[in-house]
Amino acid sequence: MSESTTATTELTSQYTAQVAGDLERNIKEQDSINGEIAALQEQLTALRHDHSVLVNMQQALGVAPAPDGSTDVQDSATVPAPREKESAEPSAGKRTRAKKADAEPGRKQARKAAAKRPAGMAATAKAAQPTLVELIRGHLTELDGPRSAAEVATALGQAHPERGIKTTVVRTTLEGLVAKNQAQRSKQGASVFYTAADKPESASAPETGAQPDEAE
């Protein structure tokens, strides 16, 4: 009876340790995927800014896109009026409605053009801002030693508080730069540090205030 109890206890301990390890790996994978999603969202925002700028340039060059309300106008024009009303209404009323229908597309286009002007100006101003990749790459170039992702995120967050820069996004972007040979990655104990690709990795420990990357 005692041997069976001991075997059951050991098996329970093994399963408990395995479940704890699997749970820890699951949490780390979730954090990694969340960082990748945030980085992709940043790239999508930049692409949308570029799209707005290109549309404005296209309009400035005189290449106007097809109006968005053309389908609505055509659909409304193809719907016939009830025959009974057509026979009862005078021809003068038909001419008045026809003039209103002809003028409606012009008014829609004018309203859309007026609404696009401020949006285009705002998109141009946003497009002039550097992307997160450019900010991180420029920051690494200005450093005199390796820095962790948390230190890079803190420095950029203080310099650009309006962008809401997060450590997970910065870490993912830094790993992307390392993969493209645009940054260098070094490990000191349990901490990971980054430097610009054109600068040699510092063999000495970083500043006293450096925080380990895994502790974030």
Domain boundaries, the chain: 1-65, 66-127, 130-216
Where residue 65 falls among pLDDT bands split at 50, 70, 90? low
Measured CA to CA, the distance from residue 119 to residue 186 in angstroms comes to 44
In a 13 Å sphere around the CA of 72, the CA atoms on its Cβ side amount to: 8
Residue 170 pLDDT > 70: yes
Measured CA to CA, the distance from residue 197 to residue 195 in angstroms comes to 6
Mean pLDDT, rounded, for 57-68: 72
More confident residue, 126 or 136: 136
Residue 214 pLDDT > 50: no
H or E element at residue 196:
strand 191-196
- The label of the residue with tokens 């100006």 reads 121
Determine how β-strand 191-196 pairs with β-strand 183-188: antiparallel
More confident residue, 123 or 168: 168
Do residues 65 and 58 touch, judged by C-beta distance below 8 A?
A: yes
Among 3-12, 54-63, 187-196, the minimum mean pLDDT is found in 3-12
- The label of the residue with tokens 């008045």 reads 96
β-strand partners of 196: 183
Residue 180's identity, in one-letter code, is K
Measured CA to CA, the distance from residue 94 to residue 88 in angstroms comes to 11
What does CATH list as the number for 130-216? 1.10.10.10
**Using alpha carbons only, how large is the chain's radius of gyration in Å?**
31
Do residues 183 and 137 touch, judged by C-beta distance below 8 A?
A: yes
